[in-house]
Each structure stands twice: as C-alpha cells, then as structure tokens.
Amino acid sequence: MNAPVLEASCRSILPDGGMVTITATRRPRAGRADVKCSVPGVPAQAERMQQIVRLARHTEPRFDSRDQVVLSADRAFDPASRDWELAAVLADRIVRGVFQPARPVVANGWSDAWHLGRIDGRMLGHDLARVPDGVLAGGPDGLPHLGALTGQPDPGAGVASARTWFPMHSGGEHDGLGWVEVSVRPLAGAMDADDDAISVPDLDALRQGQVRAVLAGARHFDGRGQGQWKTTVRFGEAGFSGDSYGLALVMADRMARGREFMARGRVIATGTSSAWHTGKVDTVDALAPKCALITREAGPGDRILLPRAWEGALPQGMRETLRARGASLACVERIGII
Amino acid sequence: MLGSLFRNPLRRPPRQDAFDASALGGAAIALPAPSGITIPAPCAAVLVDRGGRSRRLASGSRIAALEGETAWCVHPGPYTCDLAPFAGAPEIGLRVSFAVDASDPRATHQRFDLFLASEAGSAVELAGFAGLAQTALQRELAQGNLELPPCTTLEEWNTFRSGFNQLMYTRFGVTVDDCVPVDIGATHDYAALLEARLAAQAAVPEAASETAVTLAVPPTEAFVPACEDARALRRLFLELPCLMCAVRMAVLPADQERFRQHQDLLRRLDLVSLAVGTMPALELAAPGQPLAQHEQLRRARHSRRAAAALDEAWALLARMKVAGEGPLDVLFDEADRIVTNLETESGARRVTSMQDEVSA
C-alpha cells in the first residue's frame, strides 16, 4: 500500500507538565502477539495499553495480522492519568500507515469506548484555550472521535458533524489549510424560518449572514434539510477573507446531513457560487498558489474539489503528484450526484 | 378445510404442503422447494447435496431430489433494491437492479448455487440479500478498493461501476443490469435516525449511571457460538476449494517470479482449507473433555473473523479479474494479507485456551 513506516512516535503531556513519548515499532509477527506494550515499572499500565490499542483497531476497516506492533513509553506515569491513551492509539496507527500526519503529533485524550472510536475527554485544560498550541486534544470540543481526524461524521453519535478543509491564501507566511465544521442536530418540531437555526459563533454579523445565505441556498438546491436541523458552523481560524470557503462549507453541510458520498481522507475544496440554489460552482482567484498549497498538504485518501474553470489551467503534473500520493482531484461544475 | 378439497374434485390435492411460488421474483429470490413439484415457468431449481455439490433443473421439469439433497426454487428476476454505500451517509443510496445469472456453461461451479449451498439457511429474501450486498459494498468502499468520492465524475463512476458489477458477480453470482445514485432520504430520514439515537443516549444515564463501566460495552446482537461457528466453518469448508479454483484461473503468471508467488498463495490456501476440514469440534478441548463456555465464544469469534477474511478474498478475486497486469503487485500483497488472516484465525480457532494464542 504505502511505504512501510517501521518506527513512529507520538507524545502526550502528563499532568505534571512533563512529556511522555510513546514509540511504536513494527516487525514481522512470527507467531507472536499482535500488540506488545511496555511501560517502565508499571506492568498494569502496559496491559491496559494493549487492551486500548486492540479495542481501537476495531474501528479500522482493514485487518492485517502479518505484523506485530511494539509500543513502549519512555517513562513511567501515574496510574490515575489516562491522557496518554490517545497517543498510544495514534502511535499504533501511524506506524502501520493508517494515519499519516504531516508533522509530529502531541495528543491527549481518554475514552471508555475505544471500540467505537469515540474519545470522551481529556484531563489537560478544561477549555480549548488552555490547551497548548498544536496539541491534538480529545473530547467533545476538540477531537470527538477518531474519524474526525479526516472530517468524517461519527457513525454512532446523535449529533452529526463533518469537517472539510479549504486553502487559505493571502500571500503571507500564514497560508495553510483552514477547516470548517458543520454540526447538525435534529429539531424536534418543524420550523418555518430555517435561518434562525444556523449559528456561527466565530464570525462577525456580516459573515454570519453570508454563511446562512450559502447554507440556505445549498439546502434549497438539495430539496431537503430546510427547517429540519439545528446547525452550528465553526471555523478553525476566523481571520480569513473572501468567500472561497463556500464550496467547503456546502460539502461539510452535505456530509453532516448524510447526503454526500464520502472520501476516505479529508475533503479539500475551494470554490464559490453566485447561486447556490442552482448548485452551480463558480471560479475563485489565486489558482497557482492554492494549487501549490493543496499539492503540498494533500495526503492519502484526500479528495480535492476545484471549480470547473480551473480544469484547463491546473499546474503541470499536479494530477499525477496527487494520484501518486493517493489523493484524487475533480473539477466540478455543480454539486450533487455526478 | 375439507371443503376446499372437494371444491375442485378434478384437481389432485397437493401431495405435501403446497409450494407457494407467489413471493418468488418479488420479495424472495429463492425458496426451499419440496420434492415432487413441477418447477413454475421462469424459475429454475437448484439441488444441493450434503457435500455442497449442486445441479440445476430447468423450469417445467419435476424436482426429484436424491437422498440428502436440498432443493431451492430460484427466480431469475430482475430485482431492484436500494443500497446505502456509506453507513455515515444514510440519505444517499444506489438503486441497483440485478438478475440471477443463468447457468454459465464454462464454469464448473455456478457462483449463485454455491451461495445457496453455503450461506442460504432456507429462503433467500430480497431484503436479506440486499443487506449482504450492502455489507460487501460498504467494506470495499471503506477499504478504498472501490471509490465513490464526493462529486464523483463520470469517469470515476464508470470505474466504480465496473468494479461493483464484478464484485456482485464474483461474490454472489448475480449480474447488475443497472445502478444509479438516488436520494433515499424519504425512506431513510437521517434526522429521525439521529433523534432516535439522542433519545436512546438520554435514556441511558437515567437508567443506570452507576454501572457506567459495564455500559461502555454496548449491547451486541445475539451471538450464539454454536450457530455462528457452524455457519462460518460451513462457508469456509464449501467456498475455499471454489475460491482456490477461481484464483488459479484468474491470474496467468507472466514470469517465473509471479508463478512462484501464485503457487505459494494456492498452497497456503490449500493448507487453510485442510485446516478447516479437520477443525476440532467447538465444544471439546480434547476427546471427552468439554471446553469452557468463554473459550467456545472465543473460538466462534475466530471462525467468524475467518469468514470475514473469506469475504475479503472474494472481493479481491473480483479486483483481480478487473485489473490488468499493472497493479498485480498490490493485489498479491493484499492476497498475502488475507491469506495470513485466514491462517491466523483458523489457527486461533484450533487452540483450546487464550494463553496458547498469545504466546510471546
């Protein structure tokens, strides 16, 4: 499948402020147990780690019994602390190539239901603002389940939320992929004015209006979902301008409402529309830098959606590079099925 | 009751309980048929003996089952069903219309007959069959062997269709006539589904907040070890030889290296097949020694996982048939993974205690 990674590590912040590094290595199984764990001085924790990793593997579609993964923590930790659980699960996934992060991961989170891929919470920092930058924090306000790493909705949750990514480009050094997340919750009674049920806490009033208009238009095109949902839209970073996030927003909304085919990885989209109620996708500016950014960031299984007008002007070799990395690209004229 | 016998004195009363073929072609694909009836017009009969060998009888003839044979009456269709390709997207579906394949003179085993022999307990309902097809489709999509990404282009759709058609033919022996994406929101309302889930979640903490630890394990579907184990082993026993036969024919080795790889794969499959054929009884640790309940449960789980690997193997065979020479390396690597899983699971099914399994 992908080039084998034989060693990987994932770190986690301990309650005392120190760091624990969980290192995973992979070797041929040769009749041994599928997972082996060691924590210096605390055999009970090692046993717990093995159990967690095995449970979390139940959420993966591919089962491979050819390799043994050995996980080891570089220091002992307090038996009461459970924040290392997410780091252990991720280290196990990274070493087998199931999860391929772009940069080293620091992760904190625990769960009582790893076999469902759910992450119940973390002990580190009670609100996200107190979590250090760049730390993957488990829990309902951070990473609620393992599928959310690629923006997929949790198949077992009562609130469906999906995340998509869009390139943010301003010519500065802060360029990168921003995300938008749409969470929908069924409304008990039918409502007439669907605008009121969409809240966008991160943005100012003007932009909130834009987001509502986009969603209302796209749902009108869809024919369903009007007055049915209580919607919350969150952005990874509020400091962006322009309206090229529109297509990403619409795709996240459709994914959250269970009305779109799913990519295995993330959906990365850029595009806008003057008339979402017809489902048409219009072109946006900054083709070259955005394509360069997407080519840099895309990973295996990712789905890239660009406006149809870009099709002829794509940088040479972009499709091939993406395909080699396992991502797929489509230039779309309209949303919906084919 | 008696009156109905005399109402039409010219007609002979049915010899056994009357065979009702009215559901065939609609809600049911195949129904067990009693011996002695005449096969109604568009249907065919499939007779399977205890060893899984099957033969077909054309419509119009009488079913004369030999000792130990089970007969089914199969309506060729066409049938239409809706499949949801993604568990997480219940409002978008595929409307698939398919037909049961007429007997292929080139093949020694009709795949649909094998399906009847190994998986159909009694009747094959359309809904149950659609459930199996949906599971197969969802697994292939989740593993990335078939792709149906957001805003699928026409080219991607055609690739998906050829893979899907081959999957359905190789796995179930049915031919897909038509397959279109449809909005199934009217019948599978996601909002209602989520509302039910929220209600269930709200009810749980009130019911038992103290037993939170036990609640972490959700109520699973009824799992009867003896039934599951028997079903899985029967499938492995009947299907592995046919699978091996098909794998042998699906690849024509281009060079010495590939030939050796292919040969090795077949040899290992053969050993798995042998292991399944000589599998110890579920409830015995040794002759005359009963095995503990929880160990029986563990054994049954391994059988089921081996059967899941068998499903993957059929799906892989479908990919082998569609693929050209190019991606054979990837496919052989997949085959290695699947066969290793089969070996591991059938080996674990054999051992009598968990300790033996996780040595080292």
Alpha-carbon gap: B28 to the closest alpha carbon of chain A (Å): 30
Predicted pLDDT at B205: 58
Q: Are A224 and A184 in contact (CB under 8 A)?
A: no
Return the domain boundaries, chain B: 79-183, 225-357
Does domain A7-148 fall into CATH 3.40.50?
A: no
Is B187 at the interface with chain A, CB within 8 A?
no
Distances (CA, A) of A327 to A139, A217, A284, A315: 28, 29, 22, 16
Does the predicted model carry a pTM greater than 0.90?
no
Q: Nearest CB to B87: which of A115, A155, A184?
A: A155
Residue B290, by phi and psi: left (phi above 0), alpha (psi -120 to 50) or beta? beta
The secondary structure element, H or E, covering residue B123 is none
Q: CA-nearest residue of chain A to B305? A: A63
Q: If contacts are CB pairs under 8 Å, which of residues 68-107 in chain A contact chain B?
A: none
Distance CA A139, CA A121 (A): 4
Test the A interface: residue of B190, B204, B333 with most A CBs within 10 Å: B190
Sign of the C-alpha dihedral, residues B325, B327, B333, B339? negative
Interchain CB distance below 8 Å, A328 and B218: no
- Say if residue A195's pLDDT is above 80: no
Higher-pLDDT residue of A313, A173: A313
pLDDT band with cut points at 50, 70 and 90 for residue A100: confident
Reported as a single tens digit per residue, the pLDDT across A140-151 is: 778 888 888 888
Distance CA A265, CA A302 (A): 4
Is B204 at the interface with chain A, CB within 8 A?
no
**What ipTM is given for this predicted complex?**
0.86
Three-state SS for chain A is: CCCCCCEEEEEEECCCCCEEEEEEEEEECCCCCCEEEECCCCHHHHHHHHHHHHHHHCCCCCCCCCEEEEEEECCCCCCCCCCHHHHHHHHHHHHCCCCCCCCCCEEECECCCHHHCECCECCCCCCHHHCCCCEEEECCCCECEHHHHHCCCCCCCCCEEEEEEEEECCCCCCCEEEEEEEEEEECCCCCCCHHHHEECCCCCHHHHHHHHHHHHHHHHHHCCCCCCEEEEEEECCCCCCCCCCHHHHHHHHHHHCCCCCCCCCCEEECCECCCHHHCECECCCCHHHHHHHHHHHCCCCCEEEEEHHHHHHCCCCHHHHHHHCCCEEEEECECCCC
Q: CA-nearest residue of chain A to B333? A: A1
Distances (CA, A) of A66 to A5, A49, A70, B24, B161: 14, 20, 13, 45, 31
Predicted pLDDT at B216: 42
Is A36 at the interface with chain B, CB within 8 A?
yes
Predicted pLDDT at B14: 46
Distances (CA, A) of A30 to A65, A180, B88, B227, B360: 10, 45, 37, 32, 10
Chain A residues in contact with B156 (beta carbon < 8 A): 328, 330
Higher-pLDDT residue of A165, A16: A165
Q: What's chain A's average pLDDT? A: 83
- Say if residue A299's pLDDT is above 90: no
Q: Say which residues have a Cβ less than 8 Å from residue A283's Cβ, sequence separation at least 6.
A: A271, A272, A307, A308, A309, A310
Predicted pLDDT at B251: 83
Is B347 at the interface with chain A, CB within 8 A?
no
Chain A residues in contact with B340 (beta carbon < 8 A): 64-66
Q: If contacts are CB pairs under 8 Å, which of residues 143-162 in chain B contact chain A?
A: 143-144, 147-154, 156-157
- Say if residue A1's pLDDT is above 60: no
Predicted pLDDT at B222: 66
Chain A residues in contact with B212 (beta carbon < 8 A): 112
Tokens 């579907």 sit on residue: B221
Q: If contacts are CB pairs under 8 Å, which of residues 308-337 in chain A contact chain B?
A: 328, 330, 332, 335-337
Test the B interface: residue of A65, A112, A281, A305 with most B CBs within 10 Å: A65
Residue range A39-46: mean pLDDT, rounded: 85
Reading the block at residue A282, the tokens are 């219009």
CATH code 3.30.230.10 region(s) in chain A = 151-332
Interchain CB distance below 8 Å, B360 and A31: yes
Among the ranges given (A161-165, A192-196, A328-332), the one the predictor scored with the smallest mean pLDDT:
A192-196
Distances (CA, A) of B259 to B246, B265, B319, B331: 16, 10, 19, 14
Neighbours of B217 (CB within 10 A): 11
Predicted pLDDT at A287: 84
Does domain A151-332 fall into CATH 1.10.10.60?
A: no
pLDDT band with cut points at 50, 70 and 90 for residue A129: low
Distance CA A219, CA B185 (A): 13
- Say if residue A17's pLDDT is above 50: yes
Interchain CB distance below 8 Å, B150 and A267: yes
Q: How far apart are the first and last CA of chain A?
A: 28
Q: CA-nearest residue of chain A to B334? A: A1
Distance CA B268, CA B274 (A): 10
Predicted pLDDT at B107: 67
Q: How far apart are the first and last CA of chain B?
A: 70
Distances (CA, A) of A101 to A26, A104, A119, A217: 18, 7, 18, 35
Reported as a single tens digit per residue, the pLDDT across A211-243 is: 888 888 888 888 777 777 888 888 888 777 788
Predicted pLDDT at B357: 62
Predicted pLDDT at B5: 44
Q: Nearest CB to A260: which of B89, B154, B309?
A: B89
Tokens 């097809």 sit on residue: B133
In single-letter form, the type of residue at position B45 comes to A
Q: Nearest CB to B194: which of A116, A152, A160?
A: A160
Chain A residues in contact with B201 (beta carbon < 8 A): 158
Residues of chain B with pLDDT under 70: 1-18, 104-108, 204-222, 325-326, 355-360
Distance CA B67, CA B117 (A): 16
